[in-house]
């Protein structure tokens, strides 16, 4: 086994984005395979690699690629094993990329195509399609603009959908490249990798690039980056857990306020009922009081219903917030956190955490 792993976004950018002919050739092959169009010339707009990898957090590890016709592609290897916010995040990336074009003094018909292509190591869409293209469409499926004029595309490559046991002869070019991404760390120990390197020029090209990051120096860089990446995810997970706990507290507070409002409304309803009874006894002398009491009774009943509705809404918020806490706790447990570490991040004791995990 070797240290190189193209699922690592730092290694991915180095292999395809370094400012050299070999990396550029590999990138053109990658784009040709997944965009399904011949790519003869591209320029990486952010080819700089991080010199001090201890400061990677401030770097961009995606690839911003520009074609001859000024089509721009934002290419990224997304390793994180969660679906949380990913669709919204990449929608934002696409909108930001499309809106970055300088249109001063130009017609909107001159907008250039922008594409965000993400390689996922998880499944987002419940179908068999490995490479999916998303565009702006009506709910019924009708395109917002003509297909030939659609300048914004989000392309997802869901690598776990590839059948890794399929014979190499039955794999298409996309499946072969994804297989290489997922298994290149095995090198020639993998029979399919060995066969592809021997017979497939594109894979040969990738193998040469991967070999350049397989020594001990790169192993340390990639391992340090992996640890940094995991630490950032733990911090993000902790923030999400704290936010969920905050929502739980707010939901409990709302429920308590609703309970108090219900009690006040019931008391007001009871007072109104007593006033109505008293008014009825004095009907001959206090017709006006009877009318006022009836009005109070109706208003109190309305308040009671509103309060009960608030109570129901608060119960739903509590349930939702508790579910979020459970999801966060389970995620941290799956990520290797001990019960004590999870307890330190939240206001739950170990017994409560164990109960959440088992439930």
- pLDDT surpasses 60 at 34: yes
DSSP letters of 72-111?
Answer: EEEEEEE--S--TTHHHHHHHHHHHHHHTS--TT--GGGP
3-state secondary structure 135-174: CCECCCCCECCCHHHCCEEEEEEEHHHCCCCCCHHHCCHH
Q: Provide the whole-model pTM.
A: 0.58
Highest-pLDDT range among 57-71, 225-239, 248-262: 248-262
Tell me how far apart the alpha carbons of residues 33 and 31 are, in angstroms, rounded to a whole number.
5
State pLDDT tens for residues 85-134: 777 888 888 888 888 888 888 888 888 889 999 998 888 888 999 999 99
How does residue 221 score in pLDDT terms, banded at 50, 70 and 90?
A: low
- pLDDT surpasses 70 at 136: yes
- pLDDT surpasses 90 at 157: yes
Q: Which pLDDT score is estimated for 224?
A: 67
Q: 68: which residues sit within 8 A by CB, 6+ positions away?
A: 40, 41, 42
Q: Are strands 63-67 and 42-44 parallel, antiparallel or unpaired?
A: antiparallel
Q: Which pLDDT score is estimated for 53?
A: 43
Tokens of 142: 């009708």
- pLDDT surpasses 70 at 232: no
* Averaged confidence pLDDT in the chain: 82
Q: How many Cα atoms sit within 13 Å of 44 on the Cβ side?
A: 27
């Amino acid at each position: 086994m070797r240290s190189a792993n193209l699922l690592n976004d730092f290694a991915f950018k180095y292999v395809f984005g370094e400012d050299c002919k070999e990396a550029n050739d590999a990138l053109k092959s990658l784009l040709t395979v997944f965009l399904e169009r011949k790519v003869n010339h591209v320029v990486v707009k952010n080819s700089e690699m991080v010199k001090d990898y201890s400061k990677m957090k401030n770097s961009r590890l995606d690839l911003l690629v520009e074609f001859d016709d000024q089509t721009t592609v934002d290419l990224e290897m997304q390793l994180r094993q969660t679906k949380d916010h990913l669709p919204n995040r990449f929608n934002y990336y696409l909108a930001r990329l499309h809106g970055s074009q300088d249109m001063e003094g130009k017609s909107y018909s001159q907008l250039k195509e922008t594409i965000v292509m993400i390689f996922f190591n998880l499944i987002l869409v419940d179908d068999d399609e490995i490479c999916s293209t998303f565009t702006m469409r009506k709910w019924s499926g009708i395109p917002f603009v003509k297909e030939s004029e659609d300048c914004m595309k989000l392309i997802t490559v869901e690598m776990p959908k590839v059948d890794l046991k399929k014979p190499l002869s039955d794999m298409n070019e996309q499946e072969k490249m994804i297989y290489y991404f997922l298994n290149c760390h095995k090198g020639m120990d993998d029979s399919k990798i060995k066969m592809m390197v021997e017979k497939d020029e594109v894979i040969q090209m990738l193998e040469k690039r991967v070999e350049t990051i397989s020594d001990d120096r790169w192993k340390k860089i990639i391992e340090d980056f992996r640890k940094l990446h995991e630490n950032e995810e733990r911090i993000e997970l902790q923030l999400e857990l704290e936010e969920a706990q905050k929502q739980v507290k707010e939901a409990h507070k709302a429920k308590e306020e609703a309970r108090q409002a219900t009690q006040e409304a019931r008391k007001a309803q009871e007072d109104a009922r007593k006033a109505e009874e008293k008014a009825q006894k004095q009907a001959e002398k206090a017709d006006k009081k009877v009318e006022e009491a009836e009005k109070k009774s109706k208003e109190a009943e309305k308040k009671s219903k509103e309060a009960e509705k608030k109570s129901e809404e608060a119960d739903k918020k509590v349930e939702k917030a508790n579910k979020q806490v459970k999801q966060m706790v389970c995620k941290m447990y799956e990520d290797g956190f001990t019960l004590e570490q999870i307890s330190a991040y939240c206001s739950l004791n170990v017994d409560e955490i164990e109960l959440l995990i088992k439930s």
